[in-house]
Structure 1
């Protein structure tokens, strides 16, 4: 297959995935759109072909028109079987699988053959809940993919570690495709707005069939202006009532959950919850969209160092929690 012209390797992720390569567990790469999940598949394919030049690679990009005929689980399964080789290892790569209804049944069926080595990506955190977890219990490993860390940003852009480089990173973030663009406000902001719109309208509005898009936009703006702060869905609901706008607590919770599933925001659990307080509405939620303060032209809070640190810890596969001090 044809690899991208510029292929910068994200060695940290590759090393985490390597122990599970050629094992009969599905490797599931999840993360926000445009953080480089497809590029990681390309790198894994390159690793395999470097060791096995004649390896049978089955690559399916479900966003590519070439594979538009694959609309159902049966279509997907039939195509993969038609491309598979008997008694040989089949390396199966499926990009953006979440839009195929019942795909988890296909993956479970393919895993019955130990000669199938499976890698899939998805842009929705919810794809690993419910039926997928039931069907593939103990048969998959999830790797959460994030945008570039600061060190990766320096490596990708050929920069040295100095104040100017840090300013560029904190201003524009770590989406890998920025490598192909001049790091200038007008150009980068247009690209980020395009990615933002795709995520909001494709992975949130369309997926969950939302009608109140005006409130969704206002909620995103509120979250972007309160990065890292505690917020209460009830307090937001009460404030809206004072403004003669009725939005229920449940609706606010649902909308924030949808944004989290699309990796537009990340939830940070509260450490100080005990007893019945675990049921209170008020988890800390973080909004590391693109690791940048640019959110559809809305200026976020100036708490960027704290924000970037949390983004880095998320990317290092660390579990974060919020600790509220008591006076």
Structure 2
């Protein structure tokens, strides 16, 4: 089965022939290599590029071990360039290359070479691309398959597919497995033999058992406001383990660097400032989250919120947790907006509401949105498959399937 990643492929195509290194990042097994070595390679051939002008190097292949040495790599690439026509250099798992920043910057001096690389290492975060490549790198971050990508490839009963998706997530290899037992075994194995080991070895984590337990705690509490101090108290009272807030903050940063978790900060909507107290954390792949808990807490309500977050991020939005003051004569409290999604001049205020069974629940979900006075669109996403409509306050109420299968909220009328 070939699953087209057209969104990411089109991004790559859009950056062709620019004097920037195209850096493809993402969690391991999310499809970075397939995007470059299969889909982009095919695009180059279809648009007239000669095979000899595509230089591909997979550094995790033992036969290419000698090319991990920087001067040998430079020599090898220069030997392959025979004329002044355009060449495309594609290096997979470039973090295995010693002094890779220096080597890639050296390739920028060859005028007819367009450079593309993938990396799973924490040094390929946006903040490091900006500093290490000094304006010479463009990051394209890949997420696991969206529900729309999976549905476009498989079709069938979208609700049965949704149940599979919120249980096992969107790592592409899962689409090739024939039953749920194999999917669960695959995800469990990845957590133990790849992701955990990768983080522990890279960051020299000494207390592996405590780090593993923290991953489980974060998996159990997706979408819950927390900070290192609050988590430390949980460990002390519930787990009977003493972990300092400093250690927990470091461990969380390791998970973010490995693209396991993403952090969403609290944002004061009226005050237009970040509130540096509690944040929320979401898993980039919900199947890996469920596997950490041995599929014991597959709660569609909380998972739906995580999936909406991932969908917004994969569409290029920055996503914060919104806070709005609610004052009465006797008290002041803060109400939460699940997501404040921003991209360019677009902003959406979004509530994830699994269901609105009664007026009390309905008022609860609407309360924070009603207190936002600007003109940006306000949205409530329900699990129910309903026809989209606007209420008397202009709030758009829509079903989850419409949100996931449309390319943007503005398509919903």
TM-score (normalizing by structure 2): 0.71
Pair 1:166 & 2:165 matched: no
Whole-angstrom distance in 2 between the partners of 1:186 and 1:291:
13
Task: Say if 2:23 and 2:116, in contact at 8 Å, map to a contact too.
Answer: yes
Q: Aligned match of 2:72 in 75, 78, 82?
A: 75
Q: C-alpha displacement at 1:130, in angstroms?
A: 6.9
Alignment correspondent of 1:238: 233
Deviates more, 1:248-257 or 1:190-199: 190-199
Distance 1:131 1:320 in 2: 20
Moved more, 32-41 or 172-181: 172-181
* Unmatched 5+ stretches in structure 2: 326-332, 334-413
Higher-strand-fraction structure = 2
Name which of 204, 207, 227 aligns with 1:209: 204
Measured in 1, the distance between the counterparts of 2:193 and 2:57 equals 21
| RMSD of equivalent CA atoms | 2.4
Distance 1:288 1:84, change over 3 A: same
Aligned counterpart in structure 2 of residue 176 of structure 1, from 172, 177, 180: 172
| 1:258 alignment counterpart | 254
Alignment match of 2:182 (pick from 187, 194, 212): 187
In the alignment, what sits opposite 2:322? 323
CA distance in 2, matches of 1:300, 1:113: 53
Output aligned runs, 1:84-163, within 5 Å: 84-128=81-125, 132-156=129-153, 158-163=154-159
Partner of 1:314: 313
User: In 1, Cα distance between the equivalents of 2:296 and 2:95?
Assistant: 32
Alpha-carbon displacement from aligned partner over 1:154-194 (angstroms, at most 9, x marks no partner): 122x2235321211211121111112111x33110111112
**Does the 8 A contact of 1:147 with 1:175 survive in 2?**
yes
Judge conservation of contact 2:143–2:284 (CA < 8 Å) in 1.
no
Number of aligned positions between the proteins: 319
Q: Secondary structure at the match of 2:265?
A: strand
Secondary structure of 1:217 counterpart: helix
In structure 1, stretches of 5+ residues that fail to align are 1-5
Q: Which has the higher contact order (CA 8 A, sep 6+)?
A: 1
Residues 1:84 and 1:203: Cα distance change in structure 2 (over 3 Å): farther
Segment of structure 1 superposing worse, 286-295 or 224-233: 286-295
**TM-score after normalising by structure 1:** 0.89
